[in-house]
Amino acid sequence: MFPAKPTSRSILFTATIFFLLIFTIYVTANEDPTVETDNEGVDSDLQELIAIDEQGGGGGEEQQQGDQQKEAEVLSKAQRIVLELNSDNARRVIDQNEFVLILGYAPWCARSAELMPQFAEAANKLKDLGSPVLMAKLDAERYPKVASTLGIKGFPTLLLFINGTSQVYTGGFSGEDIVIWARKKTGLPVIRIISSVEAEDFQKKYHLFVLGLFDKFEGHDYEEFIKAATTDNEIQFVEVSSSSVAKILFPNINATDHFIGIVKSEPEKYIAYGGIFEKDTILQFLEYNKFPLVTILTELNSARVYSSPFKLQVIVFADSDDFKNLIQPLQEVARKFISKIMFVYIDIADENQAKPFLTLLGIEDSENTVVSAFDNRMSSKYLLESNPTPSNIEEFCSRLLHGTLSPYFKSQPIPDNKEKILQVIVGKTLDDLVLSSPKNVLLEVYTPWCINCETTTKQIEKLAKHFMGVDNLVFARIDASANEHPKLQVDDYPTLLFYPVGDKANPVKLSTKSTSKDLATVIKSLLRAKKDVPKDEL
């Protein structure tokens, strides 16, 4: 996953996206429906999953109207498939159906609204596939007791009930992801394809899948393939026994038996597996090869990206127009580092996704293309400070891979400290003004959001005036939220550090709870030059 985020990143902010412009969530009372396993006969009692707002006028074009009509038809179908749960029917629905996939939501939750169209899409696909899974939703805010009983604690929450027992949803959040996960958990981890027609139809429905070619669906290798398919929660597995059928799905296949390959809808479309047929090895191969050459980060795939096994990640921030020109050369660079570095693109205008990272780098106001990198093994971050040309990006990645890239530490601009009694230190000046200074330095480490820092700062200002006549002592402060340095590792704020001449590598930590007088006494003892210390008049 990515290196530890600041607190703001621990909460993945939600974006108001296309679906929020055309859909709104309606919560209405619903009579207790009669539930059947195949979902037939309940249409009249089903509540809409999502209602469609009246479309803005102005004489839209026919194509737009056609798209809107198609969307309306999809959601209308979802209306007849997704069951609305309430305090009266929830338990009975779960008890009377073998498989029930429940979406717990809140009307005000933006992520719930974003997920609902995907849930509707999954409901339609599962229905078309003849799946026995009953799709249902619960307004957890309206029915909090029911939500609590079912184990719904946050929004949105997906739970699959199998014969009344729940398990937490662990798949992705697109409609296709939900379908794949639900089918695997209800007994269909692998789809078997026999004919060319079936293979061609399958290709139209899935943009990411794993192909297994076995002349006989038995034996050790096949069993390990099935184990991997059952364990994986995200990718559809398909098995064939005919090499001619396999070539439709994986055209450049050379093997005639015992073959595994992953297929993606991107330039690097076909990747053959070359390892031993063991479940864990197969799964590891998929973990490193299931992503595109360049992954576009969204709310829907963020959880998958954050949990990826890649230790090295290059993240590119650019506006959408600049990215259109950058994507092809960036893919060429990424191709040279397949399975070694993960490449991610984030729209720099997307505050929810981009700003936490840019803040971590100290460049949250940047509007130009930014190329950064993270090494999760050492929690280090890096920044390309030259022009983001393909050659510079490639060299940046090569040095990242070989460990010769210097870590990046954010810093504010160098300030003017002339005639200041309390020096302002930034990341770029900590070496010169503190660690390499020929004077003793008392450094206050603070953050703007620290409640007690203001009181401590006033104390330090008072002490700085008191010791003004001491030539070998400097008082300074640094904003730890905007400046970093490898030799400044502080977790509590405020923190007072005394850097004595001759031993700057071992600063003395002073108590921030002491009075000004007590601090003055401690400082005098540390100076070891009482003749230069003023009388105690604090």
Give catalytic residue positions: 109, 450, 453
Q: Which of 443, 467, 470, 468 is nearest to 457 (CA)?
A: 443
CB of 83 closer than 8 Å to CB of 134: yes
Q: How far apart are CA 501 and CA 512, in angstroms?
A: 22
For tokens 């971590």, the residue is 360
Q: Is 373 helix (H, G, I), strand (E, B) or coil?
A: strand
Residue 297 phi/psi, 5-degree rounding, is -75, 130
Where helices occur in 342-408 by DSSP H, the ranges are 351-361, 390-402
Q: Is 4 helix (H, G, I), strand (E, B) or coil?
A: coil
Q: Is 24 helix (H, G, I), strand (E, B) or coil?
A: strand
* Structure tokens, 28: 């209405």
* Structure tokens, 360: 């971590």
Q: How far apart are CA 288 and CA 337, in angstroms?
A: 11
| HSE-up of residue 523 (Cα within 13 Å, Cβ side) | 29
Q: What angle do CA 412, 418, 422 make, to 5 degrees?
A: 70
Q: How far apart are CA 232 and CA 76, in angstroms?
A: 32
**Per-residue buried b or exposed e for 458-496, using 16+ beta carbons within 10 Å of the residue's own CB:** ebbeebbebbeebeebbbbbbbbbbbbbeebeeeebbbb
Q: How far apart are CA 381 and CA 374, in angstroms?
A: 4
- CA-CA distances (angstroms) from residue 81 to 46, 109, 110, 126, 136? 8, 23, 23, 10, 8
**Per-residue buried b or exposed e for 404-435, using 16+ beta carbons within 10 Å of the residue's own CB:** ebeebbbbbeeeeeeeeebbbbbbbbbeebbe
Q: How far apart are CA 428 and CA 29, in angstroms?
A: 62
DSSP E strands, 106-254:
134-139, 157-162, 165-168, 190-192, 208-213, 236-240
